[in-house]
Structure 1
Amino acid sequence: MKIGTLFTQSILASLLFCSVSQAGWNEFWDRAHLDYARNKCWPSPFIEQDRASVNNYYAQMTAAGIRLQNTLSDHYFDQETGELTRAGVMKIRAILTSTEGRRDIFVMQGFTKQETDARITAVKAGLAELVGNPEATPIYVSPDQPAGRAADYIDDIWRRERSSVPVPRLPAFNGGQ
């Protein structure tokens, strides 16, 4: 009888201590199964993250390019009045007829706040003239200078180059030799 009681007490004691020592055991095995499943299908779960990081970089470059393409810089505004030139109106028209989602207009920041405000007012007047609604598309101020020159400057260079080309002529005939 003593052996049976002792055996029963030892089993009860071991069950009592085992329940205390089980802390975190189930979580460990859950994590082990998760890690096994993840390692078994690697690299598939991580490819989408890599693709998203590359596409995010390209999306930022595309947005910067669109911003520069849609920026009205200094030569689209008259120097004295701040009004849009004919080229500025044509640029706004080109922006408005571009693809959907890329119709935001960026105005290059002037030297003063008054100059920048005058440019924004001129662009709104140009929008009102073209589509009848000065709020047709958002207008943002951009500090970046897009690469390029005024069209009249390029036209002057082209005309001077064309006028300096000599008249074509054949060499003189020297008797069949």
Structure 2
Amino acid sequence: MKIGTLFTQSVLATLLLCSVSQAGWNEFWDRAHLDYGRNKCWPSPFAEQDRASVYNYYTQMTATGIRLQNTLSDHYFDQETGELTRAGSMKIRSILMNAEGRRDIFVMQGLTQQETQARIVAVKAGLTEMVGNPDATAIYVSPDQPTGRAADYIDDVWRRERSSIPAPRLPAFAE
């Protein structure tokens, strides 16, 4: 009887330990199959993420460059009236004609809210004059100053440079 009781206790202990040892067995094999599948197709899933991150970076750089290229800064507006100068009108015309798919116009933020609004009104008036519709393209306010100078300044520098060049002359003829 003692052997039967001992046998019964050992069977119960074995069953109990077997059920405890099964904990996590299925999860382990599920994870092993997942890891095998990932290792088998490496680096494809990770390369797509890397490509997307680089693409997002260049997309942001492109958008920033377009915004700066299409920004009407201070020298495109008359300092006293706030109306577009001839260069400003030509810049709007260039944006409308050459920037297909990227025709948004950015107006550099003025020192005051009234100055900024006057610039937007001037751009809308220029659009009305050119296209006949003041809402032909979106107009946004940009806080960034694009690099560059007024065309009058560049023209003055160029003219002074050209006027300081000595007249061309041939060397004296030696016999």
TM-score by length of 2: 0.85
Residue matched to 1:34: 34
Residue matched to 1:90: 90
SS of the equivalent of 1:168 reads coil
Inter-partner Cα distance in structure 1 for 2:104 and 2:11: 78
Residue identity opposite 1:42 in structure 2: W
Give the superposition deviation at 1:72. Answer: 0.4
Q: Does 1:68 align with 2:68?
A: yes
Inter-partner Cα distance in structure 1 for 2:138 and 2:117: 15
Inter-partner Cα distance in structure 1 for 2:27 and 2:100: 51
Give the superposition deviation at 1:160. Answer: 2.0
Give the superposition deviation at 1:35. Answer: 0.5
Inter-partner Cα distance in structure 2 for 1:119 and 1:48: 44
Give the superposition deviation at 1:99. Answer: 3.7
C-alpha RMSD of the superposition: 2.5
Q: Does 1:125 align with 2:125?
A: yes
SS of the equivalent of 1:97 reads helix
Residue matched to 1:105: 105
Q: Does 1:166 align with 2:154?
A: no
Give the superposition deviation at 1:33. Answer: 0.3
Residue matched to 2:145: 145
TM-superposition CA deviations, 1:69-100 (whole Å, max 9, x none): 11100000001100001111111111112343
Residue matched to 1:114: 114
Pick which of 71-80 and 5-14 moved more.
5-14
SS of the equivalent of 1:166 reads coil
Inter-partner Cα distance in structure 2 for 1:167 and 1:20: 101
SS of the equivalent of 2:107 reads strand
Pick which of 157-166 and 141-150 moved more.
157-166
Give % identity.
84
TM-superposition CA deviations, 1:111-162 (whole Å, max 9, x none): 1111111111111111111111111111111111111111111112222222
Inter-partner Cα distance in structure 1 for 2:55 and 2:105: 24
Q: Output aligned runs, 1:45-60, within 5 Å.
A: 45-60=45-60
Pick which of 138-147 and 91-100 moved more.
91-100
**What 5-or-longer segments of structure 2 have no aligned partner?**
none
Residue matched to 2:135: 135
Pick which of 13-22 and 87-96 moved more.
13-22
Inter-partner Cα distance in structure 2 for 1:92 and 1:23: 71
Residue identity opposite 2:53 in structure 1: S
SS of the equivalent of 2:39 reads helix
TM-score by length of 1: 0.84
TM-superposition CA deviations, 1:4-38 (whole Å, max 9, x none): 99978976775566446534322221111001111
Pick which of 25-34 and 61-70 moved more.
25-34
**What 5-or-longer segments of structure 1 have no aligned partner?**
none
